[in-house]
Amino acid sequence: MKLGFIGAGNMGGAIIKGLIKSGKISAENINVVEKNNTILDTMAKEQGINPCKDYKELINGSDIVFMAVKPVVFPSVIADIKDCIKAKGPLLISMAAGITTESIDEMLGFETPVVRMMPNINAEILMSATALCKNSAASDKDIDTAEDILSAVGMTARIDENMFAVFSAIAGCSPAYVYLFIDSLAKGAQKLGMNKKQALATAAAAVSGSAAMFSRSDAHPWELIDKVCSPGGTTIEGICTLEEYKFESAIVKAVENSVLKDMALSGKK
Ligand SMILES: NC(=O)c1ccc[n+]([C@@H]2O[C@H](COP(=O)([O-])OP(=O)(O)OC[C@H]3O[C@@H](n4cnc5c(N)ncnc54)[C@H](OP(=O)(O)O)[C@@H]3O)[C@@H](O)[C@H]2O)c1
C-alpha cells in the first residue's frame, strides 16, 4: 500500500513519523509533496520518505492521499488536484479542521471516496486519538482501511460527523490545554523554589501516570480523586482551591469556545 501526503508540517509530519515508527508502513511507501523545502529535505533525509516533484506524481503513485495542509489553503489544493483524483481515484483522507465531507464533495464536484479524520499531535509517539467518518461514496472497506492504518498511531473512534468539532476540542486541542496544565503545575513548584526543569519533568510524569491509571481502571474520575484525598489532608485542600478558582468551569468553557470557533471557521455560525 502506497500513501501520499500533501503537507508534512506539524500534523502530517507527526502521522508520517508515527506510521514509520510503528512499522505499519515503510518510509519508501510514503510519497510527500510539501511546499516547505526544508521540511521536505529533512523528511527525506531523516525518515527516508519519497519526495514527489508535484501532485500528479504523488497521486499517480499513491493508493491513499492524505490532505495535511491548513484549512485555509485546502480549497486551492483541491482545485489543483481534482482532475488527477478523478483520473486515478485514490481514497482521499482529509484531516482539515472544520471542513466537512459535504464541502469536500462540493469542492471536488464529482463522487469519490473521502474519509475525514481528526487526529492529534501525539500520533508521532503512537498515542493519537483519531476520529473517523466517511462520505457516501466511500465504502465500509475504505473506512476499514483508513482505520487499520491510523490505529497504528493511536486509538481510533468512528463518530457521527456532527460530533467532529466536539471531538476535535477534547482530542485535537486538548494537548495544548494539558501542556498549559503541566506548565502551571511546574510554575507553582518553581514559585516555591524548585528548579523549573525538574518541576516540568515531575509534573509531566504525574500527568501521564494519572492518565494511564484512569485509562486502565473502570472507576469514575471522582472515585480516583477520593483515593488521593486523605481527610483533612493536602490534596483536598488543593482540590477545594481549584474549585474556588473555577478550574472545572474554565475547562468546560474552553471546550465550548473551541467548538464555537471550529463552527465559525467552518462557516456554520
Ligand atoms: N497541528 C495539529 O495539532 C492538528 C490537529 C488536528 C488536525 N490538524 C489539521 O492538520 C492539517 C495540517 O495542520 P498543521 O498544523 O500540520 O499545519 P502546518 O504545520 O502548517 O503544515 C502544513 C504544511 O503544508 C505545507 N503546504 C502549504 N501549502 C501547501 C501546498 N499547496 N502543497 C503542499 N504543501 C503545502 C505548509 O508549508 P508552508 O508553511 O510553507 O505554507 C506546511 O509545511 C490542518 O488541516 C489542520 O486542521 C492539525
Cβ–ligand 1 distance for 11 under 6 Å, the answer: yes
Residue with cell 501521564: 208
> How is the chain split into domains, by residue range?
3-159, 169-265
| pLDDT higher than 80, residue 150 | yes
Residue 122, φ and ψ in degrees, nearest 5: -75, 0
Decide if pLDDT at 51 tops 80. Answer: yes
Contact between 44 and 20 (Cβ < 8 Å): no
Pocket test for ligand 1, best of 5, 6, 11 (most atoms within 8 A of CB): 11
CATH level 3 topology of 3-159: Rossmann fold (3.40.50)
Rounded to the nearest 5 percent, the helix, strand and coil shares of the chain are: 60, 15, 25
**Ligand 1 pocket, residue 121 CB under 6 Å:** yes
Query: Tens of pLDDT along 96-145?
Result: 998 999 999 999 999 999 999 999 999 999 999 999 999 999 999 999 99
- The set of residues, in sequence order, having a beta carbon less than 8 Å from that of 173 and lying 6+ positions away, is 254, 258
Which of 17, 62, 69 has most ligand 1 atoms within 8 Å of its beta carbon, as the pocket-test mutant?
A: 69
Q: Is 96 exposed, middle or buried (0-12, 13-18, 19+ CB in 10 A)?
A: buried
Q: What is the pLDDT of residue 265?
A: 77
* % of the chain beyond a pLDDT of 70: 99
Q: Which three cell numbers stand for residue 264?
A: 465559525
pLDDT at 10: 96
154 in contact with ligand 1, CB cutoff 6 A? no
pLDDT of residue 269: 59
Q: Is 114 in the pocket of ligand 1 (CB under 6 A)?
A: no
CATH architecture, domain 169-265: Orthogonal Bundle (1.10)
Nearest CA among 265, 239, 75, 78 for reference residue 169: 265
